[in-house]
Chain A
Amino acid sequence: MNLDIQFKVGSKFRTSMFVMIAIGLITIVAGFLTGDTHRTWANLLLNNFYFLSLAIGAIFWMTMQAITQSGWSSSYLRIPQAMGIYLIVSFVLWFVMFFGIHDLYHWSHTEAVQNDPILLHKSAYLNLPFFALRFVVFFALWIFITIRIRRMSIKEDTEGGTRLFGKIEFSSKVLIFVLAFTFSLFSIDWLMSLDAHWYSTIYAVKKFVSAFLHGTALVAAIAVILHMQGYFPQLTKKHKADFQRYIFALSIIWAYMWLSQYLLIWYANIPEETVYYVPRIMSEYKTLFYAELVLNWFVPFLFLMWNRIGKTNWGILTIVAILIVGQWVELYMSIMPGTVESHKITYIEIGSFIGYFGLFAFVVATALSKANLIPKKHPYLMESLHDEH
């Protein structure tokens, strides 16, 4: 089998992605100009977090493969590496968010904090300089280690041997600790602090598992799509079954975290804690509240349990499409009740998501085309190509 496979970005694909980005830009500008500033900022936050967590989840999946020294996945490692490149773009986009901080975060108003004992108590952590510092440090760490791993992996293509394989494994070990700590704090900073009076100790874990689940699902979807276009001839039923198991198991963990947060708050019934769920269940958000659980857990759980579905291309693609909607609903439920309060899905929601999606797809596709599609000197590559397990 010829291992020198170069992914080419088609001009049609490129044009359609540019059209999507243009739609997004127009929507965002229109949102600001028509005075819907509040909703536009909330949507920018939603989309920024959405695609950042996809990239983080994919990177985390990649580190898992390196640490467990998995053979089966070794020919797909370029996909999460390419998704990691989006972190750089994401970094730039997040900078824009700083202009909207006063619009979104109650704790960023100094005069409001002075008269609020709870916020005053939290202000040692939740203050603008420290907030900005954390943001820069986290992104610097993520980008530095991810790019390092990608560089080493590309260098491995020419060098071979196991020296770089060992170094990648070490970097991955560092990265899981970094990600677990920093991404948890990142989701607390940017999402949980929207409801600054409320806190949940499992919030960050849930957001982390959500990133892992949806990032992995997207890696699987990209692998299947490339396979359907003829790039990954080695993708067999067994690879699909392995991806399916990942998605299946992670959706169960996701539901476990969801229940762990909800059940304890429901059971204890303390007003300080239930304040988060009251506007989400006892209002027009109710439908989306249950939709979140159905889309992210129930549908993947029920259908992937039937082994045969996960072994087909359309099966994986359908489930991933449902999960993509599911993650959007999850973040919508996290952000909107604390910011814009009224439940509406307007053109801003749809247009900005299309724009970000186009940008993400464009960045990932370009990054994929920059390196050989298969890490051709990976020590375990044969296990992935001639899948006999």
Chain B
Amino acid sequence: MRTNIIGIYEDEEVVLKAVDKLQENGVTVADVMSPFPIHGIFERLKLTTRLPLATFLYGTAGAITMFAFLYWSSVINYPLKFGGKPLNTLSFIIIIFVLTINIGTLFTFLTYFVRDKLYPGKQVTLPVPETTNDKFVIVVSKTENMTEGDVSNINKIMKESGAIEIKESDVNYNS
């Protein structure tokens, strides 16, 4: 069972400064929870995401699939000439365009759900339920090779940087 040190804050600016302070002292901040997205937190935590790449690939795959389908349906399977236009025609573009967006968006959405193990009706486990309302939380993982001194040091930095409450939690929120 993993435990986390949790600092609860009341203001986004204070959270940003606290994260900076912790990182200056060599503490790895595992996560930050907030009721709304905070600008700059993504870069500070050095989070990376491959979701845009996934979207690009889905979009490309969608475009190719749609072209293949249109080609199959209106050139191979049912070649019907109308309006003197060629069978393999430019007006494919509009359908390809729309479905590229559609497929890209839907699959990105599904990927996000799968990666985050989210599904409708899932029970939320949060160390501090108020993070969905008006509280901000900094999470630092408490690893096994941390000494008592390290822990009290983290507590001290959090307190100095404006945490209103510090506690330890073993809620395994990440899964």
Within 8 A of A (CB), among B16-48: 39-40
A263 CA / B56 CA spacing, docked (Å)? 26
- B129 contacts the other chain (Cβ, under 8 Å)? no
Kindly list chain A residues whose C-beta atoms are within 8 Å of the C-beta of B83: 267, 269
**B-side binding surface: helix, strand, loop or mixed?**
loop
| Nearest chain A CB to B100 CB, angstrom units | 13
- A111 contacts the other chain (Cβ, under 8 Å)? no
One of B39, B56, B84 near A305 (C-beta < 8 A)? B56
**A-side binding surface: helix, strand, loop or mixed?**
helix
One of B40, B52, B56 near A388 (C-beta < 8 A)? B40
Kindly list chain B residues whose C-beta atoms are within 8 Å of the C-beta of A16: none
- B90 contacts the other chain (Cβ, under 8 Å)? yes
Flag if B90 contacts A307 (CB, 8 Å).
Answer: no
Within 8 A of A (CB), among B70-115: 83-85, 90-91, 93-94
A interface residues, tally (CB under 8 Å): 9
Known: A307-B52, A388-B40, A389-B39. A266 touches B90 (CB 8 A): yes
| Nearest chain B CB to A258 CB, angstrom units | 12
Kindly list chain B residues whose C-beta atoms are within 8 Å of the C-beta of A305: 56
Known: A307-B52, A388-B39, A388-B40. A259 touches B93 (CB 8 A): yes
Flag if A263 contacts B39 (CB, 8 Å).
Answer: no
- Type the 1/0 row for A206-226, where 1 means its CB is closer than 8 Å to any CB of B: 000000000000000000000
Flag if B93 contacts A269 (CB, 8 Å).
Answer: no
Chain B interface residue count: which class?
10 to 19
Flag if A267 contacts B91 (CB, 8 Å).
Answer: yes
The residue on A at minimum CB distance from B91 is A267
A269 CA / B90 CA spacing, docked (Å)? 13
Known: A269-B83, A269-B84, A305-B56. A263 touches B40 (CB 8 A): no
A389 CA / B40 CA spacing, docked (Å)? 8
Flag if B52 contacts A263 (CB, 8 Å).
Answer: no
A182 CA / B21 CA spacing, docked (Å)? 56
Kindly list chain A residues whose C-beta atoms are within 8 Å of the C-beta of B56: 305
| Nearest chain B CB to A105 CB, angstrom units | 32
Within 8 A of B (CB), among A15-69: none
- Type the 1/0 row for A140-166, where 1 means its CB is closer than 8 Å to any CB of B: 000000000000000000000000000
Kindly list chain A residues whose C-beta atoms are within 8 Å of the C-beta of B94: 263
| Nearest chain B CB to A242 CB, angstrom units | 14
Kindly list chain A residues whose C-beta atoms are within 8 Å of the C-beta of B93: 259, 263
| Nearest chain B CB to A274 CB, angstrom units | 12
| Nearest chain B CB to A173 CB, angstrom units | 29
Flag if A263 contacts B84 (CB, 8 Å).
Answer: no
Kindly list chain A residues whose C-beta atoms are within 8 Å of the C-beta of B40: 388
A259 CA / B94 CA spacing, docked (Å)? 10
| Nearest chain B CB to A264 CB, angstrom units | 11
| Nearest chain A CB to B87 CB, angstrom units | 15
- Type the 1/0 row for A252-295, where 1 means its CB is closer than 8 Å to any CB of B: 00000001000100110100000000000000000000000000
A388 CA / B91 CA spacing, docked (Å)? 45
Kindly list chain B residues whose C-beta atoms are within 8 Å of the C-beta of A269: 83-84
A388 CA / B44 CA spacing, docked (Å)? 13
A305 CA / B104 CA spacing, docked (Å)? 14
| Nearest chain A CB to B46 CB, angstrom units | 15
| Nearest chain A CB to B92 CB, angstrom units | 11
A269 CA / B84 CA spacing, docked (Å)? 9
A259 CA / B93 CA spacing, docked (Å)? 10
A263 CA / B93 CA spacing, docked (Å)? 10
The residue on A at minimum CB distance from B52 is A307
| Nearest chain B CB to A140 CB, angstrom units | 42
| Nearest chain B CB to A256 CB, angstrom units | 10
Kindly list chain B residues whose C-beta atoms are within 8 Å of the C-beta of A266: 90
| Nearest chain A CB to B101 CB, angstrom units | 12
The residue on B at minimum CB distance from A305 is B56
Within 8 A of B (CB), among A233-266: 259, 263, 266
Within 8 A of B (CB), among A302-332: 305, 307
Kindly list chain B residues whose C-beta atoms are within 8 Å of the C-beta of A267: 83, 85, 90-91
Having A263-B93, A307-B52, one finds 4 other A-B pairs with CB under 8 Å, namely A263-B91, A267-B85, A267-B91, A388-B39
| A-binding residues in B (CB < 8 A) | 39-40, 52, 56, 83-85, 90-91, 93-94
| B-binding residues in A (CB < 8 A) | 259, 263, 266-267, 269, 305, 307, 388-389
In the A-B complex, the 4 residue pairs with the closest CB atoms: A266-B90, A389-B39, A263-B90, A267-B91
